[in-house]
Structure 1
């Protein structure tokens, strides 16, 4: 077994027997720790994919990339089966009521209530070290251009624009794992470089429906990097098609195991 093993549990695409669904989740095994990064949107999909990986143990840490349903609602399976063995790490804004227009897209209310009242919850805004090789980013500075959808949240009783300040990533032994990169994938990676050496990047790059100008910036950026990258989930087919032409692109899907 390698120094780090990452298993893709939830993604929009899947391989053979695994189940695909819009959302993201990955199991990170590093330094004798089991870290669940996000949980997808459906507890049954998470359950079935864990079973197909023959994963029966609980998790030492749960890390939530941000408070959207397609990254958090699969936690119902984890909670109902008492699989949380340690801390749940999240940004405070992950628990805001979040909307896309009139549609609620935040964390399921029951799950949110459990996390806030019963879990060993670690609220982080600055970089947080799980150990010397594993760090959660906290808030990601937006120093480079990025494009995001018009989301809203309830803050101080009022519906306002949601900048998704809860967007966070995890770095484990140089591998950066991002949920949706709402703060911009270039911002994500550049901030990651300030926290650690980066050997690879995987997760959602949030490039569905972005402008040609921004997509070309992202393409040029990854073309100039010397690490591998694996875009999934909210990256979108058009962006994936273009990114796949780069030499450092790696195809990702549910069922994929990255062992380093």
Structure 2
């Protein structure tokens, strides 16, 4: 079991959804949920792009100081950069990049965004298993190959790669990267369709040990947890965050729950029941959550549910 860490609380947390599976420019916002601004003439400006990928910009503020990191980089080589340009995102204070895991829909835009930022020595934190070459084999026989990030490309761009299996603290101890998540539930059983290429050929690789989340402590509110895919299981992740920090209250969860398709839909009821017991005040399911699970979450947690959309900024204060 990982040792408890001391996570410094922050005054505000801003999470901007830079890449996700859907975009809806007509969604309403409020004081907490700030949608992308509308243009007077849509044809006169570039539009936000949605794709099967995920990327978040996290900005924390405490005692008048702000700092940001990028969590994942989407699938397309240029999608993340394009959406940043459309939104006018210029994170001059970007201090790190965190990779949730090694699947291509989370690292595809890394090289482009690093080159664009032009920051030599920018830290990139990942779990060592993120370098594994994987494939997903569906029951129909269809395969999707998942090549890892190119270490040569990242080295060429001057990125400082940090491999870590355990938890890490970033941005002056205000951001916790969970590292490898302990698996304790009896119903979250990894990704049974996944294999990894080894020296002995393709072998089962169901646990996706490189799956890691980000955790912040919002002062007087509780934990804000970001998880791109939750291959470790969203309940495992939230319980792991509680154990690491010693903080029981989960204020918000933002990310993918990976409950789509015939393999994962049977655990939707149990997952939602456990989420209701944890009781987050805000839940923003995206990316790989799946339409069925998203509808069930909206019904089960109507006061907490927020519809995702590329360009949305969640302001937690």
TM-score (norm 1): 0.91
Query: Structure 2 regions of 5+ residues with no counterpart?
Result: 1-10, 26-46, 138-142, 218-222
Using a 3 Å threshold, how does the CA distance of structure 1 residues 190 and 116 change in structure 2: closer, same or farther? farther
C-alpha deviation, 1:112, in angstroms? 3.0
Partner of 1:88: 124
Partner of 1:254: 310
Which residue among 27, 40, 49 is the counterpart of 1:19? 49
Q: Which runs of 4+ in 1 moved over 6 A?
A: none
Partner of 1:187: 236
Partner of 1:243: 297
Matched, 1:150 2:190: no
Using a 3 Å threshold, how does the CA distance of structure 1 residues 56 and 237 change in structure 2: closer, same or farther? same
Q: Could you say what secondary structure the match of 1:235 adopts? A: coil
Using a 3 Å threshold, how does the CA distance of structure 1 residues 84 and 11 change in structure 2: closer, same or farther? farther
Which residue among 271, 286, 299 is the counterpart of 1:218? 271
**Partner deviation per Cα, 1:69-108 (whole Å, 9 max, x = no partner):** 0000111221332444621000000011111235321225
Using a 3 Å threshold, how does the CA distance of structure 1 residues 19 and 201 change in structure 2: closer, same or farther? same
C-alpha deviation, 1:211, in angstroms? 4.9
Which residue among 177, 193, 214 is the counterpart of 1:170? 214
Contact 1:96 1:154 (C-alpha < 8 Å) held by counterparts: yes
C-alpha deviation, 1:215, in angstroms? 0.8
* Separation of aligned partners in 2, 1:91 and 1:116: 17
State the Cα RMSD in Å: 1.9
Q: Could you say what secondary structure the match of 2:96 adopts? A: strand
**Partner deviation per Cα, 1:177-202 (whole Å, 9 max, x = no partner):** 00101111111111111123332111
Q: Could you say what secondary structure the match of 1:224 adopts? A: helix
199-208 or 125-134, which deviates more: 125-134
Partner of 1:33: 67
Contact 1:66 1:94 (C-alpha < 8 Å) held by counterparts: yes
Contact 1:134 1:171 (C-alpha < 8 Å) held by counterparts: yes
Partner of 2:91: 57
Using a 3 Å threshold, how does the CA distance of structure 1 residues 150 and 80 change in structure 2: closer, same or farther? same
**Partner deviation per Cα, 1:13-72 (whole Å, 9 max, x = no partner):** 113242110010000011422200000001321112101221123531100000000000
C-alpha deviation, 1:206, in angstroms? 0.3
Q: Could you say what secondary structure the match of 2:215 adopts? A: strand
Q: How many residues align?
A: 257
Query: Structure 1 regions of 5+ residues with no counterpart?
Result: none
223-232 or 69-78, which deviates more: 223-232
Matched, 1:100 2:136: yes
C-alpha deviation, 1:157, in angstroms? 5.0
